[in-house]
Amino acid sequence: MQDTHRSKRIWDNEENAPKDYETLHFRRVESRLRRGLLPCEAIMQLVRRADLEGLVRVPFIQLDRGLLTALIERWRPETHSFHVGDVEMTVTLQDVKGILGLSVDGDAVTGNFSVTDVEALCTRLLGQVPKDKTEHKGQKVVLSWLDRFDGQVNEDDNDEDVRQKARGFIMRLLGGTIFANHSGTLVHLGWLKLLDDFDAAGRKG
C-alpha cells in the first residue's frame, strides 16, 4: 500500500524530503467537554454504572502536531501498527485501560447498531428529539445538539429525567472522545441503544 501511503513522497525524496508536503488538519471536539462543569453527582452515579468515569476524568491534552504527523507517516494500515526505526508498535487494550481508565474486561460490544426510528429512540432515551437536518443526519446526531446535556440536573427532575440527561451526557462524552466521527461533528445513535440499561453497558468491555 506504499503507493497510496502518506509517506510515499518522503520515502521517494529521502535526501530532499519536504518539511510538510501535505497539511494535516486535526479535528478535536473534546475541548468543549473540558470547558464545562464536571457532571453533578446524580449524573456521575449513572456514568459509573456504565463504567465510563475514566472518560470524564481525562484532562485536556495539548496536541503535539509534529509528533502526530510523524506517527501518521509511520502508521501501516496493513499491520495496524507503527513502524519506528526497526521496531513495530501498536496500541493494545492495556494501553487504552491505562490512558483512559476504561475497563477492557466483560462482554464485547456487539449487535445491531442501526436505528430505524430516530424520533422514537430519542424520545424514549433522551426525552428530546433533534428536529431537522441541522441537528441530525440519518442515524447520526450533530454533536452540538448534545451540548444541552451538560451533566447537570434540576431540582424538580424525576428519576427518568436524570437517566435521560445522563444518557445525553454520555453520548456527548463518547462522541467527543473515543467514538469521534471523522467529520468531528456527528455521533451515531447506535451507541444510545446501548445506554438503555446502564448496568448492562457497564458489563461490556
pLDDT tens per residue across all 205 residues of the chain: 778 777 777 677 656 655 555 667 776 766 666 666 789 999 999 999 999 998 888 877 788 888 888 888 888 888 889 988 889 999 888 898 888 888 887 777 777 788 889 999 999 999 999 988 789 888 999 988 998 999 999 999 999 999 999 999 999 989 888 887 777 788 999 999 989 988 776 666 5
Report pLDDT for 30: 67
Residue 9 in domain: no
131 HSE (CA, 13 A, CB side): 0
State how many domains the chain has: 1
Give the pLDDT of residue 127: 96
Asked if residue 17 is part of any domain, the answer here is no
pLDDT at 126: 97
* Strand ranges (E), 73-134: 75-76, 81-84, 87-89
Place of cell 499491520: 79
Residue 8 lies in a domain: no
pTM for the model stands at: 0.81
Residue 159 maps to a domain: yes
Supply the range of the domain harboring residue 99: 30-202
70, part of any domain: yes
Whether 25 maps to a domain, the answer reads no
**Of the candidates 54, 6, 65, 43, the residue with the CA atom closest to the CA atom of residue 150:** 43
Inside any domain, residue 134: yes
d(CA 109, CA 115): 16
Q: What is the pLDDT of residue 15?
A: 60
In this structure, is residue 1 part of a structural domain? no
Q: Decide: 181 and 31 in contact? Cβ < 8 Å.
A: no
| Nearest to 58, CA basis, from 197, 141, 174, 205 | 174
